[in-house]
């Protein structure tokens, strides 16, 4: 029997300056989706505390527990008013801003002497999928130097390791007003519903890409994909 496709969708919890992180409800909504295209797909989720120690501890545990074929990760970009599909992870970590546990990095790089790591050409297809929903989505070469970039780096390491996921992608989303409140000054005009639509489109594209990456995976629903 063909193997079921497994996709792990991740987000982050609150952190200093962001007491509400919209990646949490977004991840919850995406992993509850019931679509014909997901009939033979196992969707799982994980929310990371915004600390370097949590990423280093919980990412390997989540990969071992869920054994995903692909990772779709979301993070909050507090100063961006559009969706950013990251194309790479920088070998950089901020020494200025502490994480949610008030821990500061002791050096400004993740790995000594290493260049930036790329997610791969599949990010262009995820970007098009998001744009096709009408959302303002753009490619990004700079995932910052905080936890989003750090998780991106560790995820690419996992893809490059033996028996790791075949694909990974990181998507930055803008801040939203909490609980459907009226839009306030400084908040994006993008709504959670629009983000769910774009996230679903990217998730469907990730399913297609992961199936192509491994021909042993079952694909009974591809002909019914919208």
Model pLDDT, residue 18: 84
> Which residue did the predictor score with more confidence, 3 or 129?
129
> What is the pLDDT of the chain when averaged over all its residues?
89
Q: For residue range 178-214, what is the model confidence (pLDDT) as tens digits? A: 654 444 455 557 899 999 999 999 999 999 999 988 7
Global pTM? 0.89
Q: How long, in residues, is the chain?
A: 226
Strand partners, 44: 8
Binned at pLDDT 50, 70 and 90, residue 37 comes out as confident
The count of domains in the chain is 1
Per-residue b or e along 63-74, where b marks 16 or more CB atoms closer than 10 Å to that residue's CB: beebebbbbbbb
Q: Please give the sequence-ordered ranges of beta strands (E in DSSP) within the chain, or none if there are none.
A: 5-12, 41-48, 70-76, 83-86, 88-89, 117-118, 137-140, 167-173
Question: What average pLDDT score do residues 58-83 get?
Answer: 95
For 159-177, give the DSSP string. Answer: HHSTT--SEEEEEEE----
* Confidence (pLDDT) at 178: 60
Range of the domain at 131: 5-224
| Positions of E strands within 29-99 | 41-48, 70-76, 83-86, 88-89
**What is the arithmetic mean of pLDDT over 122-141?**
97
CATH assignment of the domain containing 159:
3.40.630.20
Q: How far, in Å, CA of 7 to CA of 210, rounded? A: 9
């Amino acid at each position: 029997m063909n193997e079921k496709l497994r996709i792990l969708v991740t987000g982050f919890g609150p952190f200093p300056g962001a007491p509400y992180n919209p990646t949490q409800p977004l991840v919850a909504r995406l992993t509850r989706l019931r679509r014909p295209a997901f009939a033979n797909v196992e969707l799982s989720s994980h929310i990371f505390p915004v600390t370097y120690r949590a990423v280093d501890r919980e990412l390997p545990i989540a990969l071992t527990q869920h054994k995903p074929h692909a990772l779709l990760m979301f993070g909050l970009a507090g100063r961006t008013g559009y969706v950013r599909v990251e194309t790479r992870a920088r070998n950089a970590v901020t020494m200025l801003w502490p994480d949610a546990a008030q821990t500061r990095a002791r050096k400004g790089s993740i790995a000594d002497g290493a260049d930036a790591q790329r997610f791969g050409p599949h990010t262009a297809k995820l970007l098009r999928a998001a744009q096709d929903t009408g959302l303002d989505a753009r490619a990004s070469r700079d995932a910052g130097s905080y936890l989003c970039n750090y998780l991106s780096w560790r995820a690419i390491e996992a893809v490059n390791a033996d028996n790791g996921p075949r694909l990974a992608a990181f998507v930055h989303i803008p801040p939203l007003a909490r609980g459907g409140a009226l839009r306030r000054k400084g908040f994006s005009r993008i709504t959670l519903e629009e983000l769910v639509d774009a996230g679903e489109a990217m998730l469907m594209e990730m399913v297609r890409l992961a199936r192509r990456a491994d021909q042993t995976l079952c694909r009974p629903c591809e002909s019914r994909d919208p």
